[in-house]
């Protein structure tokens, strides 16, 4: 049995749909259940539902054999995982956003940036030659420029609805992100048959690792 870490929310739903199509699940976990571990009756996979930022850590530390995680999370962290494979789900973009009328050339000597992605944000502004102060937040990022905590934000954008609802606008796209399938090195050897079957069901081969 493979243990798979999934991020809670929309990406988990898309991942579960994909596994249903590939025959790895016999049904969906109960959406009303508070349980964080789901063992499919087929006995082929066990699912751990965790925060998106924690998926890679669970896999890296061998608490899960594999995981499905956004490319943005993998780039932000420094994880020892096998080369991620693009599943082409969970599409979104990581962007700079700010109040209407604000721009990257607004003239501030130091730009204050609120984000869950301090490493990506620092690298982006450094390459632009812009001095920045990063303020790390874990939620409600859009609130920061509204109350004067930051000049702008760096956050994931899907439809842009949350930005518009808070009178913010997307200024520049830093990167596009999709979900990636990752394995730890141990699983490739201790569960080689299961890993091979899983990869084959997604039309992937071990040579791509």
Angle subtended at Cα 89 by Cα 171 and Cα 16, rounded to the nearest 5 degrees = 135
The per-residue pLDDT for 203 is 66
Q: How far apart are CA 124 and CA 39, in angstroms?
A: 41
Q: How far apart are CA 28 and CA 14, in angstroms?
A: 11
The per-residue pLDDT for 207 is 45
3-state DSSP assignment of residue 199? helix
Distance of CA 156 to the CA centre of its chain: 9
3-state DSSP assignment of residue 39? strand
The per-residue pLDDT for 209 is 46
39 beta partners: 46
133 beta partners: 112
Sequential pLDDT tens for the chain (209 residues)? 899 999 988 899 999 999 998 888 888 887 777 888 988 888 789 999 999 889 999 999 999 999 999 999 999 998 999 877 889 999 999 999 999 988 887 666 789 999 999 999 999 999 999 999 999 998 889 999 999 999 999 999 988 888 999 999 999 999 999 999 999 999 988 998 888 888 888 765 444 44
**pTM of the entire structure?**
0.86
Token pair for residue 143?
A: 């609130």
Q: Catalogue all structural domains in the chain, each as residue range(s) with its CATH number.
A: 2-91+177-204 (3.40.190.10), 92-175 (3.40.190.10)
């Amino acid at each position: 049995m493979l243990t798979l870490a999934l991020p809670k929310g929309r990406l988990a739903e898309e991942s579960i749909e994909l596994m249903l199509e590939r025959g790895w699940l016999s049904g969906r976990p109960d959406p009303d259940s508070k349980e964080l571990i789901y063992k499919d009756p087929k006995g082929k996979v066990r699912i751990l539902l965790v925060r998106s930022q924690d998926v890679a850590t669970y896999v890296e530390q061998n608490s899960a054999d594999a995981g499905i995680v956004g490319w943005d999370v993998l780039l932000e962290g420094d994880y020892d995982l096998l080369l991620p494979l693009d599943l082409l789900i969970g599409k979104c973009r990581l962007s700079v956003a700010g109040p209407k009328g604000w721009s990257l050339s607004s003239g501030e000597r130091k730009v204050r940036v609120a984000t869950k992605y301090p490493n990506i944000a620092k690298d982006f502004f450094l390459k632009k030659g812009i001095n920045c102060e990063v303020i790390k937040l874990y939620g409600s990022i859009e609130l920061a420029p509204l109350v004067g905590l930051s000049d702008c934000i760096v956050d994931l954008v899907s439809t842009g609805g949350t930005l518009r609802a808070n009178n913010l606008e997307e200024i520049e796209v830093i990167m596009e992100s999709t979900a990636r399938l990752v394995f730890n090195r141990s699983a490739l050897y201790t569960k080689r048959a299961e890993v091979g079957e899983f990869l084959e069901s997604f039309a992937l081969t071990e040579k791509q690792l």
